[in-house]
Amino acid sequence: MKSFTVIIPVYNEEKLIVKNTYKLIKFLRKITENFEVIIVNNGSIDKTVELGKSLEKKYPKKFKILSIKEKGHVGFAFRKGVENSIYDKIISLDMDLSIGLDFVPKCIELLDDYSIVIGAKKVGKQNRKWFRVFTSNIFIWLTRSVLGIDYDDYSMAAKGYRKKDIQRYLNYIDKESAYVFELIYWVKKENKKIIQIPTSCHDTRKSKFNILNESVYRFKNLINLWLFKRV
């Protein structure tokens, strides 16, 4: 049966949350009625939560908005979404829906046999700023070199997870975006099956992350995980 949860961490998304939720739910209903969309607000100070509450009323049992207090703690937001999901198949997207939605049905099918599905922009079609592609490629190379995991995308969007295979790690994931490569590393270490597929990406706005700060943060967490691996 095609049943799944879509999780989207958000911060100050009042301009997109209604329009893109309509778009997403319309698309998902072409696949199945057995789905839910969980938006997890992390510290928004605009009308994101208010608009999310109105969407809950419009789409009962299909949409819900949860909240954590901390701004930018997307890892904890993801954890809260997983903990509150009712389905085993989890798909992570961004609110701007910059990832081609054809990833979703492909991911649902593959999660029958795989613990994690990685949607890789590098091997798909991407329309992104050169410096975002450049910094991403450097991090991919570092991750491959340091951790020995040979994949091409560690961003938050376009990822699929089986809840039963990642649940045991939820209390240990980093509060920010490093949780993606942490989960991939831990699941791979257990010899569970991971697959990578190409996905398209079309950036529609500037990144909400400071590229320099995010690069330093990810490198630090990569080294921490490497040290943990050696111990």
Task: Please report which residue ranges of 59-178 form alpha helices under DSSP H.
Answer: 74-83, 103-110, 130-147, 163-166
pLDDT score for 84: 97
Model pTM score = 0.88
CATH number, span 4-230: 3.90.550.10
Q: What is the pLDDT of residue 54?
A: 98
pLDDT beneath 70: ranges in the chain: 1, 122-133, 205-212, 229-231
pLDDT tens digits, 73-89 = 999 999 999 999 999 99
The per-residue pLDDT for 162 is: 98
222 residue type, one letter: L
What is the predicted pLDDT for the residue at 112?
97
| Beta strand extents in the chain (DSSP E only) | 4-10, 35-42, 63-68, 89-92, 116-120, 126-127, 159-162, 194-198, 201-202
Q: pLDDT tens for residues 150-160? A: 899 988 899 99
Which of 202, 197, 31, 186 is closest to 119 using CA atoms?
197
Domain ranges of the chain: 4-230
State residue 39's pLDDT score.
Answer: 98
How many Å separate Cα 55 from the centre of its chain? Answer: 21
pLDDT recorded at residue 160: 98
